[in-house]
Structure 1
Amino acid sequence: MATALFLSSPLLHHCQNEKVVGRTISKFNSSFYGNLIAHRIPIRRENIHSFRNKSTAISSVLGRRTKVKRETVIPDSDYRIPIVLLGASGLLVYSNNLAAAVPVGLLGLLLLVQATRIRFVFDDEALEVRVGSELKESGENVFVGGKNRWKYSSFVNWEFWWPNFPILVYFKETQTKPEGQIHFFPIIFNGKQLYDVMVERCGPSKTSAPKKK
């Protein structure tokens, strides 16, 4: 990394007896260090190129070393959908519609349990599904195979249904299949936290942005 030092100098003398590339400073007054005497060293073009190449190399090395990783984000659990489903099941039971009450109640109970277990973990390079407070690995995907971990760079698109009361999150990635694999997950997480981190890590969604109030 090259650092530029700006000095205020009222008096500059140029060497006229030597043919040099650029101008050789013979004497100048510095507001920082007083009077400085510079040696009459020719500034050659090859020296300039060498300095620039070394500066670029140093900057490149420092750039790699100072790369900052993004923090891991885990959206909070959200129980609104399970509660709504269990409430709907109770209303169906009250109206003597047991045929509909049973599947709705079972789905609500399943999502309630999953909301206490499943975690979306957004690390520096990928989204991963983990289980429990200890964030254990979830194993292979039972539907399409492969690990439940997808790099952000493989995301083709993602959407929320519906943004202001999110129920499902959809995304398509090319890591599982080159032609693209679609995934659906019930949103049993904090919808705003999930949306914000997906915009940051996966790019903006095409149509599912929450409406501005």
Structure 2
Amino acid sequence: MASALLSISRFVPSQKADSEQKGCFGNLKSSFYGKLLCNPYRIRTQFNRTQGEGRTRTTVVASVLGRRAQKKETVIPDPDYRIPIVLLGMAGGLAYTDNLVPAVPVGLLGLLLLFQTTRVRFVFDNEALEVKVGEQLEESGENVFVGGKNRWKYSSFVNWELWWPSFPILVYFKEKQTKPEGQIHFFPIIFNGKQLYDVMVERAGPSKTSAPK
């Protein structure tokens, strides 16, 4: 009989144990192992904390990947010699017909653009258009007409145009970085017109003109 009561006493919790089990079942003891099995509240807290840390890590990783995905590659349109060649051809034709007065300025302009085509580059990086020179893409210095660096953020562009799309001759754009009321720029298109148009649409938004053919 005493042996039976002793066995039952192993399974019946004491009053002290009852007071400890209020809330989330308390600390349960095994009649076989005599040690703590679990504390549901502690486990739940630890689980929630782990979940929170997991979400934080996921958010940080997603944020970093998002920034990397948004970064655009640098684009440099290829040089295009069509305009200087056309101007030099016109100058040659004028000279051949003894029209030397118009032939000289046209020929000089053709030579200037031919020289500029070999050295000037439009560099479209992740956030701005910049004019650089030479094979090493050196700084072009200050703008000789309006001052300031020859670098303009896409976010400052108000409008831009490509004249004429089928045989692009000039690119025009207006930006508010140089001065708040807006500054207009014109450049002869001595670059691949299709490449120039595509990257301008991508970085600065659509133009009113149609794509070059």
TM class, shorter-length = 0.7 to 0.9
TM-score, with length taken from structure 2: 0.72
Report Cα offsets for 1:60-106 as digits up to 9, x if no partner. Answer: 42233112221110000000000000000011001111110000000
> Residue 116 of structure 2 is aligned with which of 86, 109, 114?
114
Structure 2: segments with no counterpart, 5+ residues: 1-37
> Residue 175 of structure 1 is aligned with which of 174, 177, 180?
177
Larger Rg: 2
Which one-letter code corresponds to 1:159 in the other structure? E
State percent identity of aligned pairs.
71
> Residue 190 of structure 1 is aligned with which of 170, 189, 192?
192
1:150 alignment counterpart: 152
Which one-letter code corresponds to 2:72 in the other structure? R
Matched, 1:133 2:135: yes
TM-score, with length taken from structure 1: 0.72
Aligned-CA RMSD value = 2.7
What is the count of residue pairs matched by the alignment? Answer: 173
Which one-letter code corresponds to 2:211 in the other structure? P
| Separation (CA, whole Å) in 1 of partners of 2:192 and 2:88 | 19
| Separation (CA, whole Å) in 2 of partners of 1:119 and 1:104 | 23
| Separation (CA, whole Å) in 1 of partners of 2:135 and 2:192 | 16
| Separation (CA, whole Å) in 2 of partners of 1:155 and 1:127 | 10
Q: 1:63 to 1:146 in 2, by over 3 A?
A: farther
Report Cα offsets for 1:141-193 as digits up to 9, x if no partner. Answer: 01111100011111111000000100000001111111111000000000000
Which one-letter code corresponds to 1:170 in the other structure? Y
Offset of residue 209 of structure 1? 1.3
Structure 1: segments with no counterpart, 5+ residues: 1-38
2:30 alignment counterpart: none
| Separation (CA, whole Å) in 2 of partners of 1:198 and 1:145 | 23
